[in-house]
Structure 1
Amino acid sequence: MNTKIKTKTRTEDMLTIMYVLAWVTFIGLLIHAGAILFSYGVSCVNPEGAKNLYKGMSLITLRQFSLWHYTLSVFLMVTLLSMKAFVFYLVIKVLSKVNLANPFKLELARLLENSSYILLGIWFVAILSNVHTDWLLKKTGVIQGERATEEFIIMAGLVFIISQVFKRGVEIQAENDLTV
């Protein structure tokens, strides 16, 4: 009896590792966003809760300055974290649908293209957050949140280009299927 043993290639192993890491990152971002939202809710009832919003992040000065600006800052933080988590959710979907024997699928191209649009949205929200932070810094001296935005526009562009390559791959693959 001739039995075939299927061995995983290095690429398949790497895709599996990336799939697990994407899940870990997705869950971590959701926990981070949830912890900030929960802490925000507590700080609305008890203003002292703003002293340790998440892992030592203190926005008590901002909370004392203005509840509205405090709420806006927390909203922008949670929005950024949620959008990042959504990108990793799309990465999980892409990685779960990758088939190395037939990699070019329109569904994957669309998921990649949607990821690029979400990354572009993250870039825009990060810019809004930075503008708000800069204004708050002038008024209160309080700095909060992430400051970098460049990587999101670069990632959005790269992922969009990859999605277009996948779309072209789908077209070529369809043409080859028709000629066989």
Structure 2
Amino acid sequence: MEIKISSDFILKGLQLISWVVFIGLCIHSGSLLFTMVYALIGNPNAADYYELDHVLQADNSHFITLMSIMIIVAVLKSILFYCIIKVFVKKHLNVNYPFTEAFFSFINNMAWFALGIGLFSYWGSGYLKKLSLLNLPIPNEQTVHIAGADVWIFMAIILLVLAQLFKKGVAMQHENEYTI
């Protein structure tokens, strides 16, 4: 017995997964912001969750910088998934007419957000290395959720190339519409 899965079913599943990831990333972004503020004004032990209590004890500015990078990366990831959800909700996906300005804009925006995530993750990794030179016990990149800068930058380059292909496709499609 062969099971056929339609593309509509797959798209609905991807939309559901996108919503779950988006909500999780929003919660994560908010918890990072709350942790930073709470650790600075209320309870310094709150920084222990991300293993940054030693950084906070050593210097507030290092803690604020590292937490800000973490928050920026988390917010950019949330925005990236918001863009994905927006495509599903506004029905920008049309298999019969794929080369549209809206879809080009979607891919282009995703590329720039991925590049931003990659650059801030790279900056955060470098900042962690700088802090390790100060002989502070610092967490690894996975613990502070800034790992994978190279993967994000690689994805951004691929998406920028795809965006340019879609841009060319949009131009060719418009040209064909005006040709009799």
TM-score by length of 2: 0.85
Name 2:159's counterpart in structure 1: 159
8 A Cα contact 2:51 2:139, kept in partner: no
Q: Tell me if the contact between 1:116 and 1:155 (Cα under 8 Å) persists in the aligned partners.
A: yes
Give the letter aligned to residue 176 of structure 1: N
Give the match for residue 24 of structure 1: 20
- For 1:175 and 1:142, the matched residues in 2 are separated by 56
> Deviations for 1:81-133, whole angstroms, at most 9, x for unmatched residues?
00111111112223341112222111110121121112111111111101110
CA offsets 1:38-91 (integer angstroms, 9 cap, x no match): 122221122122222xxxx32111111111111111111000000111111112
Q: How many residues align?
A: 169
What residue is the counterpart of 2:47 in the other structure?
50
Give structure 1 regions of 4+ aligned residues with deviation exceeding 4 angstroms: none
Q: Assess if the C-alpha contact under 8 Å between 1:94 and 1:112 holds in 2.
A: no
1:127 to 97, 119, 122: 122
2:57 to 58, 64, 80: 64
- Alpha-carbon separation, structure 1, partners of 2:48 and 2:126: 23
Equivalent residue, structure 2, for 1:5: none
TM-score by length of 1: 0.85
Alignment-derived partner of residue 36 in structure 2: 40
Unaligned residue ranges in structure 1 (runs of 5+): 1-8
Identity of aligned residues (%): 27
Structure 2, unmatched stretches of 5+, are: none
Matched letter for residue 48 of structure 2: K
What is the correspondence of 1:136-155 to structure 2 with a 5 Å cutoff?
A: 136-139=131-134, 140-144=136-140, 145=144, 146-155=146-155
| Greater Cα radius of gyration, structure 1 or 2 | 1
Distance 1:130 1:117, change over 3 A: same
